[in-house]
Structures are given as C-alpha cells and as structure tokens.
Structure 1
Amino acid sequence: MMRAWILPMVFAACGVLVAASQFAKGSPGTAAPLLLFFALLAWLHSPLAFPRSVGAAEAQRRSAVDGRPVVYWRAGCTYCLRLRFRLGRNARRLHWVDIWHDPAGAAVVRAANDGDETVPTVVVEGRPYVNPDADWVRAQLSSSP
C-alpha cells in the first residue's frame, strides 16, 4: 500500500527542499511556484489523480453486469496517467483496479502479459488489451449497454 505513495512523497520532499533553499536565498517569489510545481507532480503521480479503485473480483463482477471495461493500473505509471487524462470525464465510468493494492489484480495483469505487470491493461469482455489508445477505450464505453 505504501509503495503507491513513495514517488509522490519524494516529489513533495524535493519541492519542500527546493522551495526552502530558494526562500533562504531571499527569493520567496521563486520558492512559491516551485513548491506548487512539485505539489502538482506529487498529486499527478499519486492514487488521488485516478478514480477510486476497486478490487479485481468486484471490478470483474461489475463489468459482467454493465459491460464497461476494467482498467488495471498503478500509481506513478506515466502511460496510466496519460490514459486517465485523455479519457477525461469518461474515466469515471470505467472500473479501475490498482494492481499495487490488489494482488488479484496484479495476477490478472501478469497472466495477460506473460508474467509482466505491464499497465495500463484494459479488459473488455474478458479479453485484455495492453496500453490501448484512449479513443479506442472511449469507443468501448459507448458500445457498452
């Protein structure tokens, strides 16, 4: 569980150190934007930037009922982040599974990717797709009931 927060904490700590050094040099006008920049990086690489995750079993159950794709992801993954932001508001309609919080989700991803934890892996109707284009995922959403 802590693994998902290591990178965001590193960004936040670096931001505090860089901002403190600029403030100590007498440049508070430079320190504030730098601190905000590092805070933004920390947020983008944290689980907070993604819709709330559910377990793999729950996501599969929900997907079987509503036909929506399941996205397996992990915090700090730039490809997951890109997919999340390119989907925009549609991202909330998908079922998200954080493989660092759910061992069953990690097992699904490893089974689909020859033992590798390659994310994002999107499962549509039981079939996995690795790092699909956001437009394709959006089309899968519009074709679901």
Structure 2
Amino acid sequence: MRRVWAGPLLMVVCGLGVATATFVQGRFGTTVVVLVVFLALAGMMSPLAFPKSVGAVEAQRRSAVDGRPVVFWRPGCTFCMRLRMRLGRRARRMYWVDIWRDAEGAALVRAVNDGNETVPTVLVAGRAYTNPAPVWVREQVSSAE
C-alpha cells in the first residue's frame, strides 16, 4: 500500500523543496508555478487519476459479458499515465486492474509478458496486448459499445 503513494509523495516533497528555495529567493510567482506543477504531477501519478480498480477475475468476468477491454496497470507507470490521459473520458468505460493490489492480475501480466510485470497490458476478447497505442485502445473501447 505504501509504495502506491511513494511516487506522488516524493513529487510533493520535491516540489515543496524547490518552492521553498524560490520563495527564499523572493521569486513568489515562480513559487506558485512550481507548486502547481509539482502538485499536478503528483496527482497524475497517484491512483486517484485512474478509474477505480477491480480484481482481475471480476474484470475478466465483466469483460466477457459486455466486451469492454481490461487494462492492467500500476501507480507511477509513465506508460499507464500516458494511456489514461490519452483515453480521456473513455477510460471510465474500461475495467482497470492495479497489479500491485491484485495478485491474480500481476500473475496474468507475468504470464503474457515472459515473466515481466510490463504494464499497461490490455486484455481485449481474451487476448493480451502489451503497451498498445492509445489510439488503438480508444478504438477498442468504441467498438465494445
């Protein structure tokens, strides 16, 4: 649980350090900009930026019923953040599995990626795709509706 928040917390601490240095130098406008940027980055790295995670078994069951893709991800993953941001509102139409919180999800990702926990791994119609292009994933979400 702690490692999920380690990256965002580190980002906030670094931001506070840089902001303090600019504040001491009397650059108040820069201080505000630095704080906003570091807080935004911390928010994007946190689990709060992603739709609520479900377990791998439940996600696969739901996907079999409605055809929506399943995304296996982990907090702090830059490729996962890129996918999430590029999907926009469509991300809510998918099932997200945090592999750091779900052992079955992590095992499935390792099974399809030669033992590596490479994310994002997207499961579409029972077939896994590792780090697919966000445009392709967007098309899969649209076709599932």
Band the TM-score falls in, shorter-chain normalisation: over 0.9
Code of the aligned partner of 2:131: N
Q: Provide TM-score, normalisation by structure 1.
A: 0.95
Contiguous gaps of at least 5 residues in structure 2? none
Task: State how far apart, in whole Å, the 2-side matches of 1:36 and 1:103 are.
Answer: 35
Residue 129 of structure 2 corresponds to which residue in structure 1? 129
Query: How many residue pairs are counted as aligned between the two chains?
Result: 145
Q: Deviations over 1:77-107 (max 9, x none)?
A: 1111111111111111000001111111111
CA distance in 2, matches of 1:28, 1:20: 10
- CA shift at 1:64, angstroms? 1.2
The structural deviation recorded for 1:32 is 1.1
- C-alpha RMSD of matched pairs (Å): 1.1
For 1:44 and 1:139, locate their aligned partners in 2 and report how far apart those are by CA, in whole Å: 23
1:47 corresponds to 2:47 = yes
- Same amino acid, percent of matched pairs: 61
- Normalised to the residue count of structure 2, the TM-score between the two structures is 0.95
SS at match of 2:128: strand
In structure 1, C-alpha distance between the alignment counterparts of 2:60 and 2:21, rounded to whole Å: 49
Q: What pairs up with 1:72-87 in 2 under 5 angstroms?
A: 72-87=72-87
**Residue 56 of structure 2 corresponds to which residue in structure 1?**
56
The equivalent of 1:143 in structure 2 is 143
Where does 1:96-107 land on structure 2 (aligned, <5 Å)?
Answer: 96-107=96-107
